Structure 1
């Protein structure tokens, strides 16, 4: 059922949910900082930002900001968690596999770390301490009436 995918309600232990919350906060804020830097320097970056998808530098930059800044907020609070993670994972994948494809690993190591963490977090789900968990429980209660 689509509810379980978007708003998981399977019980996680409190320790696991606290761990997932901590990872969401830490990595969400770290990625959000990259988006904030891009957003604050939009004018300068929009002329030189890489355009790996052929959409133009300003649009590519805007999509990177969306993936890094806006989606990080949903990731942190656990709102539309897995949907928010798709642009995050895509943005980091493009950075790792396309933008830094020919760079030495030390240059693309941070993108690799983000990618691995975000894929694992996508699989794990947001945990009990998320808006999606609350919404999922409310949907179940509503459907039982």
Structure 2
């Protein structure tokens, strides 16, 4: 009884997978928009972008673009899902805990929202409607 209350839907059920797909699409597109803004303004931002890792502003910006644009696309379609999420989670953790650590919470809040959602999505997995699922089924069929 308690189990059904805590876990009312099978984790791999169609409804759960549709919810995970919706979350992937929404948050993937939202994060991609930040990556596109950074990519479009690369020349202006390359010399002034924060460098919390000590690898140079230009390379830090490239890493942020990779995490926000390339990895969020993999997250969105469910391709190498958990691997793609590691740079996304790391980027949002750096934004919240390091880059904006001295800013007001209202400035840091968006990075925290992304961070929490991505950690929860990492734990939940991509669901049935993901490219990774296709490869998993194909591999099992061998």
Deviations 1:34-71 (A, max 9, x none): 00000001000001100000000000000000000000
Q: Secondary structure at the match of 1:50?
A: coil
Structure 1 residue 102: Cα displacement: 1.5
Structure 1 residue 104: Cα displacement: 1.6
Change (3 A) 1:11 1:110: closer
Find out whether 1:40 has 2:53 as its counterpart. no
Q: 1:78: which partner in 2?
A: 78
Once superposed, which parts of structure 1, at least 4 consecutive aligned residues long, lie more than 4 Å away? none
- Which whole-Å CA distance do the structure 2 matches of 1:102 and 1:38 have between them? 22
- Which whole-Å CA distance do the structure 2 matches of 1:111 and 1:95 have between them? 6
Q: Which runs of 5+ in 2 are unaligned?
A: 1-9
Q: 1:115: which partner in 2?
A: 115
Q: TM-score, normalised by structure 2?
A: 0.92
- Which whole-Å CA distance do the structure 2 matches of 1:43 and 1:61 have between them? 10
- Which whole-Å CA distance do the structure 2 matches of 1:11 and 1:105 have between them? 34
Q: 1:31: which partner in 2?
A: 31
| Structure of higher RCO (CA pairs closer than 8 Å, 6+ residues apart) | 1
- Which whole-Å CA distance do the structure 2 matches of 1:63 and 1:119 have between them? 19
Q: TM-score, normalised by structure 1?
A: 0.90
Structure 1 residue 18: Cα displacement: 0.2
Are the equivalent residues in 2 in contact too, given 1:11–1:128 (CA < 8 A)?
no
Deviations 1:65-84 (A, max 9, x none): 00000001000000000000
Q: How many residues align?
A: 133
- Which whole-Å CA distance do the structure 2 matches of 1:41 and 1:50 have between them? 14
RMSD: 1.1
Q: 2:106: which partner in 1?
A: 106
- Which whole-Å CA distance do the structure 1 matches of 2:132 and 2:120 have between them? 18
- Which whole-Å CA distance do the structure 1 matches of 2:65 and 2:84 have between them? 13
